[in-house]
Amino acid sequence: MPALISNYLASSPEPYPRTELIHYWGISQSPLSVSSTTVRWRSDNYDNLNQRITKLLNEYARLKENWDNEGAPAISVDVIRKAQNLTTLLEKHGQPIFHTAPGPWGEVMLDLRNAANGRSLEIIFYPDRSVAVYLPTDETPKQDNFDITQLPVMMKWLNYTK
């Protein structure tokens, strides 16, 4: 998260290299007495972090008019693209998305949560606007227009630790 707070640019995430023990199951030319355990750098820590969200967004892109049996419009390509772009950006910086849901105005909601401090943040892309809803546990909730340049501030708020 520090990378996202200080610099949210998608082009320059600095993954935090971790060492990880893995078991190598490939055919080896080495004698069997040689250990099959090796150490490698793992630089893809965040890959697939929000894979479930991406999959759901792809499903929402295929929803037809009246998908809720109550007259909801289909979700526009533009709305899906905005949600996908933010999902990708957050994944690159290690920020998980709890869930995503379509809504009755053709919107898509991304729900980000921090179990440690109880805060949650909903970012909602409507066909004609985008909003951010701050839901703390001990303060008054707040709604703002979503501004991508404020994303580091939003993530700092969400991941605040005392």
Partner 1 sequence: MTARKVVNADEWLYRRSWPDKKYMNPDGTATSRVFKLRPKDNGELSVDIKSLTTPDKAVGDSSRFYLFELSNRYVLQITDTKLVTYYDPLPDGSNNAHAVIVGMVPEDDIIPALLAKASKRVFV
Residues within the interface to partner 1 (CB under 8 A): 52, 56, 59, 68-72, 98-99, 101-105, 107, 109, 111, 120, 122, 124, 131, 133, 135, 140-143
Question: Alpha-carbon distance 21 to 34, whole Å?
Answer: 16
- Whats the size of the chain, residue-wise? 162
Q: Which of residues 31 and 71 has its CB atom nearest to partner 1 in the complex?
A: 71
Is there a contact between 108 and 97 (Cβ–Cβ < 8 Å)? no
Q: How far is the CB of 156 from partner 1 (least distance, A)?
A: 20
Question: Alpha-carbon distance 100 to 143, whole Å?
Answer: 18
Q: Which of residues 38 and 137 has its CB atom nearest to partner 1 in the complex?
A: 137
Q: How far is the CB of 137 from partner 1 (least distance, A)?
A: 10
Q: How far is the CB of 39 from partner 1 (least distance, A)?
A: 34
Q: How far is the CB of 26 from partner 1 (least distance, A)?
A: 36
Residues whose CB falls within 8 Å of the CB of residue 91, separated by 6 or more in sequence, listed in order: 46, 47, 49, 50
